[in-house]
């Protein structure tokens, strides 16, 4: 047990030091060189850049002796639908396009990238024109189906899940008790089944939804853990991803709901007609706010966690003048280690909460209300009183 704790602590320490090193490559000792990041505004912009999605997979950045900014990573496929059809190429074509002025010719279509968004120039335009608010006036957005950094992260998480569950399935083929890595997954699968699905959905219906609940639990959990590595993934901190996950829950709830569920929304039994009319829009609104709460909770917690960790790492540079380089680094390291430990718990907690609430909403939709039995019981009660 003590050995496992030591290994985990060393792993967290290595990850945090790696993150500090990656962030440190953006800074440097005074006097400041061109391209280095060590002011509050630049650090804030750097954190926002880290949280945003990207068409490239950047591991870290540094400034060379000549003051030129260098990015270490690799390109990803760009897949877009333009006015002239589908266009595919690697994102390296957009390199050196930080200001959005580089024009890329993709088989007769002129493209540019502004603030990480790909635009198609209007016919006859050779450069981008901007208004006073720095909005492009002669370019429009395209349908972007690219393999971005977030999509790449989801593919990695999906691969890890596939390998993990395949290992679990193969482990059961050898006997009732799985071996190897399957022994790590089995308690988690049983936990989702016995502590989440069964209590909230019920013994009669829970098996039907186990596939979805297991998928969403492990998908969120693995992505949250990947986000704690120096790879810099922020998939579950992307609101588009959380919207899709919440939308899956919403669709499953609506298509699995029984007549009692819809009756309690549109025409609640045992309630005066006037109150039914008043409560109907409230119930409909509640039906829509449930998935909204799912997506906002996951998005806000993961984004805040990444921002806090990156902010604490930046303490080493903000407090350099008052605490010195060694003092600022020490404070930043200790705080980052503490928050990283909490983030490991949050990674599991957010996956658990999303899965728990999803199962709760599903359980409310498939719950069977025994109104006939209740009315019959009342009838028997009246007859018994009459006899007495």
323's CB contacts (< 8 A; 6+ apart) are 331
240's CB contacts (< 8 A; 6+ apart) are none
Where exactly are the structural domains of the chain?
77-146, 150-371
Residue 388 has what pLDDT?
Answer: 33
Cα gap 34→9, rounded to integer Å: 37
Q: What is the pLDDT along the chain (388 residues), one digit of tens a residue?
A: 444 444 444 454 444 444 444 444 444 333 344 445 556 666 666 666 667 788 888 776 666 777 666 677 788 888 888 888 888 888 888 775 444 457 878 888 888 887 778 888 887 777 777 777 777 777 888 888 889 888 999 999 999 999 988 888 887 777 777 777 778 888 899 999 999 999 999 888 889 999 999 999 999 999 998 888 877 778 888 888 999 999 999 999 999 888 888 888 888 787 788 887 888 888 888 888 889 999 999 988 888 877 777 776 666 666 665 665 566 566 667 776 777 778 888 889 999 999 999 999 999 888 876 655 444 444 444 434 433 3
Cα gap 13→176, rounded to integer Å: 38
Q: Which tokens hold the place of 272?
A: 């005066």
Closest CA to 250 of 156, 363, 147, 358: 358
Residue 249 has what pLDDT?
Answer: 94
What value, to the nearest 5°, has the Cα angle with vertex 207 and ends 206 and 211?
Answer: 105
In the three-class reduction of DSSP (H, G, I as helix; E, B as strand; rest coil), residue 32 is classed as: coil
For the chain, the first-to-last Cα distance in angstroms comes to 68
Cα gap 112→128, rounded to integer Å: 8
DSSP secondary structure of 185-222: HHHHHHHIIIIIIHHHH-TTTHHHHHHHHHHHHHHHHH
Residue 85 has what pLDDT?
Answer: 86
Residue 16 has what pLDDT?
Answer: 46
DSSP secondary structure of 281-329: HHHHHHHHHHHHHHHHHHHHHHHHHHHHHHHHHTHHHHTHHHHHHHHHH
Distances (CA, A) of 143 to 80, 84, 87, 263, 364: 6, 12, 10, 40, 37
Residue 222 has what pLDDT?
Answer: 92
DSSP secondary structure of 122-176: PTT--S--B-TTS-BSSEEE-EE----HHHHHHHHHHHHHHHHHHHHHHHHHH-S
Q: Using CA of residue 37, residue 40, residue 43, residue 45, what is the dihedral sign?
A: negative
- Residue pair 22/230 in contact by the 8 Å Cβ criterion: yes
């Amino acid at each position: 047990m003590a050995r496992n704790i030591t290994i985990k602590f060393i792993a967290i320490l290595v990850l945090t030091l790696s993150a500090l090193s990656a962030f440190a490559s953006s800074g440097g000792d005074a006097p400041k060189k061109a391209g280095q990041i060590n002011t509050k505004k630049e650090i804030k912009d750097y954190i926002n850049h880290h949280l945003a999605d990207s068409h490239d997979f950047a591991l870290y950045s540094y400034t060379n002796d000549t003051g030129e900014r260098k990015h270490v990573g690799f390109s990803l496929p760009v897949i877009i639908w333009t006015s002239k059809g589908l266009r595919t190429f690697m994102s390296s074509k957009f390199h050196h396009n930080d200001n959005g002025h580089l024009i890329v010719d993709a088989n007769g279509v002129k493209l540019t990238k502004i603030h990480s968004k790909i635009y198609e120039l209007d016919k006859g335009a050779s450069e981008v024109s901007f208004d006073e608010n720095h909005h492009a006036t002669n370019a429009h957005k395209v349908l972007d189906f690219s393999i971005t950094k977030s999509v790449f992260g989801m593919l990695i998480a999906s691969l890890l899940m596939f390998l993990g569950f395949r290992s679990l399935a193969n482990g059961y083929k050898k006997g009732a008790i799985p071996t190897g890595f399957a022994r790590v997954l089995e308690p988690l699968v049983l936990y989702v089944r016995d502590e989440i699905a069964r209590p909230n959905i019920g013994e009669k219906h829970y098996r039907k939804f186990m596939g979805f609940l297991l998928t969403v639990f492990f998908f969120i959990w693995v992505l949250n853990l990947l986000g704690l590595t120096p790879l810099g993934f922020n998939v579950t901190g992307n609101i588009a991803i959380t919207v899709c996950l919440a939308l899956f829950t919403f669709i499953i709830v609506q298509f699995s709901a029984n007549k009692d569920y819809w009756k309690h929304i549109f025409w609640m039994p045992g309630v005066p007609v006037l109150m039914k009319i008043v409560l109907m829009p409230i119930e409909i609104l509640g039906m829509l706010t449930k998935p909204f709460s799912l997506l906002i909770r996951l998005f806000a917690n993961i984004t805040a966690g990444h921002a806090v960790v990156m902010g604490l790492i930046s303490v080493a540079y903000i407090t350099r003048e008052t605490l010195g380089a060694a003092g600022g680094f020490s404070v930043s390291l200790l705080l980052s280690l503490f928050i990283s430990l909490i983030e490991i718990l949050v990674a599991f907690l957010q996956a658990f909460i999303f899965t728990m609430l999803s199962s709760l909403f599903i359980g409310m939709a498939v719950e069977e209300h025994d109104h006939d039995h209740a009315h019959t019981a009342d009838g028997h009660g009246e007859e018994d009183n009459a006899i007495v």
